[in-house]
Amino acid sequence: MSDPTVTMASERTPEPGPTAGAGPGRPSRRSVSPARQMLLDLVTRPRFAVPGTLVLLLAVIAVFPGPIAGFFGNGDPLACDLNRSGLPAGEGHPFGFDIQGCDLYAQVIYGARPSITIAVIVTVTSTLVAMALGLVAGYYGGVIDTILGRGIDLFYGFPFMLAAIVILTALGSHGIWAVSGTMAAFCWPTMTRVMRASVLATRKLDYVKAARALGASDLRIMVRHILPNAFAPVLVLASLTVGGIIAGEASLTYLGVGLRAPSISWGVQLNTAQSYFNSNPNLLIYPSLFLCVTVLSFVLVGDAVRDILDPKSR
């Protein structure tokens, strides 16, 4: 099953990259600020640049599906005509038609939006929740930390796919928010653990002690001193999670507990296609292709971000 937490937990070590020796380090490039250097490293890396461009393209598709779907002249995914049900590709319809007789190309293009919307909602909310909770738990420790820790243990008690199925079935709602909420519910615990560990490490640093000695308020110490130095690991995890969320959403939708028609999404298209894959393999191939390329792009971008932000890989 596409369980994002399992995939992520295994991603600990960097890929083979340039390793500096134990002795003298690499020559430093002093002229550029470290942050800018990192960004430069990232963008010029082919392993980032190619999937990065794809992700950008997908984002554009998700925001402006209309003009792109209309590229071949038939951009309305809901202009369906049952007389054209399952027809092969033709003039102005590069992917042919689906069972409802809708233009498959327009359908697939419009399908990017819910996938990416859900991925963004889930990643952003669970990252924010994780940062806030991890910060509080790591900074204050004690009872707050214990309660949160047990709560996280509870969420770890569920296999992701199963839990999502049960919740979505019980909710009986199949909108973007229900799906996003359910997935976010199982994303934040891992991130919070990572954030908490990172805060714990930062809290012990001398400049934090100094800030406290100087009488800075807890909130100020957390936001100004700890947060900027502790959020990188969560960011890495978040960037690695996006791909898993898209795949997970598609799986849930495909199972029939996620989004449902009339929503236009890859998962819905594939769910429909499963009954016809013998006679109309196109219905399966095109949405799958878009889905795989999307997930792959996000996974590769996440990988590259990890390479850059994880000091171990530098």
Partner 1 sequence: MTMPASETPLLEIQGLSVEFRARRAAPVQAVQDLSLTARAGECVVVLGESGSGKSVTAKAVMGLLEGNARTTAGSIRLDGADLLADPAAMRAARGRDMAMVFQDSLSALNPVQRVGDQIAEMFRVHQGLSKAEARTRAIELMRQVAIPDPERRARSYPHQISGGMRQRIVIAMAIALKPRLLIADEPTTALDVTVQKGILDLFRVLTEAGAGLVFITHDIGVAAEIADHIVVMYAGSVMETGPAREVLARPHHPYTRALLASVPRIERPGARTPIPGGLPDPADRPAGCLFAPRCPLATADCTATRPELESLEPGRAAACLRITEVQHVLAQ
Partner 2 sequence: MTRYILLRVLLALSVALGATFLIFLVVFALPGDPIQALTGGQHVMSASVEAALRERYHLDDSLPLQYLKYMGGLLQGDLGEDFTGRPVSAIIAESWPTTAKLGLTAFALEIVVGIPLGLWAGLRKGRPVDYAVLGGTILAFAVPIFVIGYTAQILFGINLGWFPVAGTEEGWPTSYILPAVVLGILGLATTARLMRTSLVETLSADFIRTAIAKGMPRRRVIVNHAMRNSLIPVVTYLAIDLGGLLGGAVIIEGIFNIPGLGFQIFEGIKQQNGPVVVGISTLLVLIFLAANLVVDVIYGVLDPRIRYE
Interface ranges with partner 2 (CB under 8 A): 1-3, 6-7, 9-10, 12-13, 15-16, 150, 153-154, 156-159, 161-163, 165-167, 169-172, 243-244, 247, 250-251, 254-257, 270, 274, 277-278, 281, 284, 288, 291-292, 295-296, 299-300, 303
Binding at 26: pick from partner 2, partner 1, none (beta carbon under 5-8 Å per type): partner 1
**Choice between 260 and 314, CB closer to partner 1:** 314
**Choice between 22 and 170, CB closer to partner 1:** 22
The Cα–Cα gap between 243 and 123 comes to 10
**Choice between 20 and 219, CB closer to partner 1:** 20
Report which DSSP code applies to 84.
Answer: G
- Count of H-run helices and E-run strands, the chain: 15, 0
Tokens representing 90? 């033709």
User: Minimum CB separation from partner 1 for residue 37, in Å?
Assistant: 13
Contacts with partner 1 by CB under 8 A lie at: 18-24, 26-28
Between the alpha carbon of residue 270 and those of residues 83, 88, 246, 251, 257, the distances in Å are 21, 17, 14, 9, 13
Between the alpha carbon of residue 253 and those of residues 29, 100, 105, 271, the distances in Å are 49, 19, 20, 7
Binding at 219: pick from partner 2, partner 1, none (beta carbon under 5-8 Å per type): none
User: Minimum CB separation from partner 1 for residue 13, in Å?
Assistant: 16
**Choice between 18 and 27, CB closer to partner 2:** 18
Phi, psi of 113 (to 5 degrees): -60, -55
**Choice between 15 and 81, CB closer to partner 2:** 15
Asked if 273 and 281 count as a contact pair (C-beta separation under 8 A), the reply is no
The Cα–Cα gap between 17 and 9 comes to 21
User: Minimum CB separation from partner 1 for residue 201, in Å?
Assistant: 19
